[in-house]
Homo-oligomer: A and B are copies of this chain.
């Protein structure tokens, strides 16, 4: 097991960063009602209120209880409610039942956040050295939950037949428009993974060598328009385009288009954070599963890039929209890097125990907090999931 070690943000800057990240979470729920914050629309998702409390529990459990001898736990019952999956941190509430917790209510969760923030402010005035890395981890963790809060709440609102808009003023992010060019990526022995002073998750390490055969990678993302061609060409009806499991998922879910697409009177619409809007063909497609991305690639006569290809090519000139719009499915199953060691202790469960049955996504989405992602960042979801802002960039053998 390896330690959580990196050159963390120094003292005062860390306090400022802490304040900023915590405030950003609260800003995300500004337009949500108490009712909005309590429900869980599927087992994969969590209530907004729970995200707010769980990220707070993380600081309470892994920082304050360890490094602030005078800290008063806000409510001893919360440890059971707001632990997500840390076996080493004790028993916890069943994940699919998170939406049954009407109490503590949103107001009490706000009070919990204020209580912990105040204690953190005291600690951040002179943070003990071993706490610094854990605080940064807590902030990275909260940024991840900010993205999940957005994807989960979008899913919950989409379940409402009234299709309420979260933010009617919401705007689509800008993207690189125009036809795709395939650019040659680095080949032979390449170095992959994180190294250096900044923060990275354990799953991005160790930096290591890999061998890449010659390949080309698309300079931009697949669009809604291209996806419409796939649909119109029967993409969702031809089993030979699909993985066997993918075809079963397509049939079981009655998939006929990406998630949140609706056809009304012949026209396509899309449910977005701004409500239901006309589908824009020029924009990058999102809310597709790995199974769909893989089938699309086969239909297009291409393939998904493996994650090492993506990471090696992401810094090339002309490589557009690596981040900021959608996470990009890769052809790589999520497994440990050679020499991988999870962090020590309970936080070692952060990434390592999910390294089977999931596919890697690279890049970053419109819901990812600014500055959160890196080229070495490894996101991962099961191949049938569609509620993330997930899209497609293609590749081909050279």
Residues of A within 8 A of B (CB): 33-39, 41, 49, 77, 80-81, 85, 87-88, 93, 97, 99-106, 156-157, 159-162, 164, 189, 208-213, 215, 239-240, 242-247, 290-291, 294, 306, 331-333, 335-336, 338-339, 349, 353-357, 359, 383, 397
A85 touches B161 (CB 8 A): no
B245 touches A356 (CB 8 A): yes
CA distance A349 to B242 in the complex (A): 10
B164 touches A103 (CB 8 A): yes
Q: List 16 A-B contacts (CB under 8 A).
A: A33-B34, A33-B105, A34-B34, A38-B38, A39-B39, A39-B102, A87-B240, A93-B161, A103-B164, A104-B162, A208-B213, A212-B338, A215-B338, A240-B349, A331-B336, A338-B397
- Which 8 pairs of residues, A with B, have the shortest CB-CB distance? A333-B333, A35-B102, A100-B159, A211-B211, A213-B338, A87-B239, A36-B102, A35-B38
* A237–chain B nearest beta-carbon distance, Å: 11
CA distance A87 to B247 in the complex (A): 11
Contact of A332 among B239, B247, B335 (CB under 8 A): B335
Q: Which residues of B contact A247 (CB under 8 A)?
A: 353
B339 touches A331 (CB 8 A): no
Contact of A353 among B242, B336, B338, B397 (CB under 8 A): B242
* A102–chain B nearest beta-carbon distance, Å: 4
- Contact A355 B97, CB 8 Å, known A105-B33, A162-B81: no
CA distance A154 to B33 in the complex (A): 23
A39 touches B81 (CB 8 A): no
- Contact A354 B36, CB 8 Å, known A103-B164, A161-B77, A213-B339: no
B160 touches A101 (CB 8 A): yes
